[in-house]
Structure 1
């Protein structure tokens, strides 16, 4: 009896370790439940009851009349697309008769895996993504070039700080200061202290890499799937990251004396070369964020293509007169639907395609106006700009969620 209870506890312990690794890599709580349920069934578990939050998990299992209950800490959240893919493939490939030792050894191999891309490679990719974002939102040559340099340096600094396991919120605030401060130094050194609308776009673009896209989208998907505790916890985690970034940007904006600017006028009927350069910028932005999330190379290229298609469609619809939130919804919807095909060909989770594929749609100039207006004490105007920003971000998330409803029956039918 004692040996049987010990084996049951060992089984639950390795199952919780698997789930904690999935959550810490950034996967959604409902996917963690599905994967753990599959593994539990293949390990002879008759029933699995699971409670998931962002920083802890507790579970009870039953087998042949015996039960075991354990709780584990998850640890600090992060984003690792390669690990998410490896863990989900491990669960899908499992077969009846799986033992705790075999699962533990597989988890050891996954945990020992090194980052797929070196820190300088990721920093350069994020710099190019920051420049691409600046160009797509109306930044001029100086703004785009300065955003490339500032974004790359900011990401390099964040990577080095994370190696020492520093607090994520503090690192975010410091890197926002580093990136935006360097951007202002470059711009002021070359163009003086005047800050036009195109230069304002570059300011927010320099800190684009701090946007917590993965947690924001994952929280929405969890809430739609009734994973309320995990969804709300992840949402507030993402909000705290945004507040930390906003704090750093606000400090620099206040010191630099930046004032509010209006958004650049949207182009109507862009010429062929503009369309081509927008496509190049969208592709570069998608690839940059896929590299940041530690995706395999073929996933990086697929994300770049999805970003190109979705963002070009969004911008084209906006050029034709559709309001930006609605155009963003359509662009994100197309990215989500195409990702449903890509995940079957490349055997990677859908979230590894969709989130980096839509980050380039982030409303940068509205975010900038919100921060600057709050600094100036113009609360009503800041709320107006912030509401516009929220509607566009909501369009991004709802587009991906709608794609799930359209492509997966289990999202429509509740059990």
Structure 2
């Protein structure tokens, strides 16, 4: 749109303005004929229903699962004297509100994309909690003002800060996979630059496929460049190039992976399957790019060189690396420092326990993942009760570090070279762990949340 066209558009009456975006933006206030001083309970059916839909779409856009979206919509609808029935997907929402006279209002809404913003999710949860406590006695103007304030909140962190968070997360991730100081340094640099580029592309609203391909390519190239730069001063084995996989793990779609399992456990199959398909798409793109880099460099995945650390030293370093990894991922999800710190502490305990169970008592990786996720879920429930942070905002970052990105990459690498048996073995190990992670959270939620454990 030219500057002249934009000026002409601004001179139009509100009802004459139409969105020029491919996914046309909804002008929520234009649904209302009642003034801002009208009590929401006294508004028309369509106006009350639009409030419910607006709240549901905001929750959905911040990355939470169908159960939380529906809970928020139901809470608001009850206070506005309506019944709400919603069908929720990854980026779309169809719902019907019915008043006491049997009249109904239905809308079908969709988002242009999906993402995660735990800070906005926290404020939306507070909004619904306060609305319920006030028995819905707010005016239309108050509701508009609060929702507008949340929706217009700027990102907590700049691109370079998000890049630094990814660097911290992937550096910790690489150590936990078995990498040494060289692999950690190179992964730190690669992930930092890669996620910086990714954030800049997201800010320009570039398609997800393009930003993943470019970000993973940049991260891998920076890792390799950093390795050869270090090699000019220190004699290093090319075996250390294998750690480049750690530099691209910032693209792991932890939120949709975990929420897909949670949604399916509550029979929100549409949302669960769409989220799983979205997560798999990202994984396939990222691992395919990693496979391409491996072919160019003639690198074959191998186990990391042994670190030869004592049990106590290794455990302490795992606690630190797990905290750094989870803290970094939380910052990438736009969590506040306090929320990221809480998630980091949970992740440090749960993930270190998981790794210790695998290494010291030879527990199967999937079983250890279940226990680690269960512990994370129980600790998150305790923090939720004491502080009020949304469970999902601290549980998902705390177990993203457990998602087997390395296993997925090795599966894709071997499939690419038609080593089907080896690829299938890695894929099955990854699938078992991915299955057990949300299962651990589900069991913890059933034990600690009386609403969650009931089907109705």
- TM-score tier, shorter chain, comes to over 0.9
Is 1:28 the equivalent of 2:69? no
The residue number in structure 1 matching 2:95 is 59
Q: Is the 8 A contact 2:254 2:403 kept in 1?
A: no
Name the SS for the 1:377 alignment partner.
coil
Q: Match for residue 74 of structure 2? A: 37
Measure the CA separation in 2 of the matches of 1:55 and 1:292. 20
> Normalized against structure 2, the TM-score is what?
0.85
Q: Does 1:405 align with 2:446?
A: yes
Residue by residue, what CA displacement relative to the aligned partner does 1:251-286 show, whole Å, maximum 9, x if unpaired?
A: 21121111232466697x943222211111111111
Q: Partners in 2 of 1:307 and 1:242 — Cα distance?
A: 22
CA drift of 1:75 comes to: 2.7
Counterpart mapping for 1:24-173 below 5 A: 24-45=61-82, 47-65=83-101, 66-94=103-131, 95-173=135-213
Once residues 6 and 405 of structure 1 are traced to their aligned partners in structure 2, the CA distance between those partners, rounded to angstroms, is 37
Q: In structure 1, list runs of 5 or more residues that go unmatched.
A: none
- Asked if 1 retains the 8 angstrom alpha-carbon contact of 2:258 and 2:396, the reply is yes
Q: Which shows bigger deviation, 204-213 or 117-126?
A: 117-126
Q: Deviations over 1:21-51 (max 9, x none)?
A: 1111101111111111111111222x21222
Q: Distance in 2 between matches of 1:351 and 1:72?
A: 24
Q: How many residues align?
A: 410
In structure 1, the partner of 2:302 is 261
Contact 1:195–1:259 (Cα < 8 Å) also in 2: no
1:314 to 341, 354, 357: 354
Decide whether the 8 Å contact of 1:184 with 1:256 is kept in 2.
Answer: no
> Equivalents in 2 of 1:354, 1:266: separation in Å?
30
Moved more, 128-137 or 209-218: 128-137
Q: Is the 8 A contact 1:266 1:319 kept in 2?
A: no
CA distance in 1, matches of 2:424, 2:305: 20
Partner Cα distance (1:30, 1:373) in 2: 37
For the residues of structure 1 that align with 2:247 and 2:307, how far apart are their CA atoms? 21
Native 8 Å contact 2:254 2:397 kept in 1: yes
1:228, distance to aligned residue in structure 2 (A): 1.1
Alignment of 1:322-361 (within 5 A): 322-361=363-402
* Larger CA deviation: 361-370 vs 292-301: 361-370
Contact 1:299 1:346 in 2 (8 A): no
Match of 2:55 among 15, 18, 22: 18
Gaps of 5+ in 2: 1-31, 35-41
- Tell me the distance in 2 between the aligned counterparts of 1:144 and 1:117: 24
The answer to whether the 8 A contact 1:43-1:96 is kept is: yes
2: CA distance, partners of 1:173 / 1:213: 18
In structure 2, distance between residues paired with 1:57 and 1:30: 13
Given the alignment of the two structures, is residue 240 of structure 1 paired with residue 311 of structure 2, yes or no? Answer: no
Give the structure-1-normalised TM-score.
Answer: 0.93
Distance 1:378 1:328 in 2: 27
Larger radius of gyration: 2
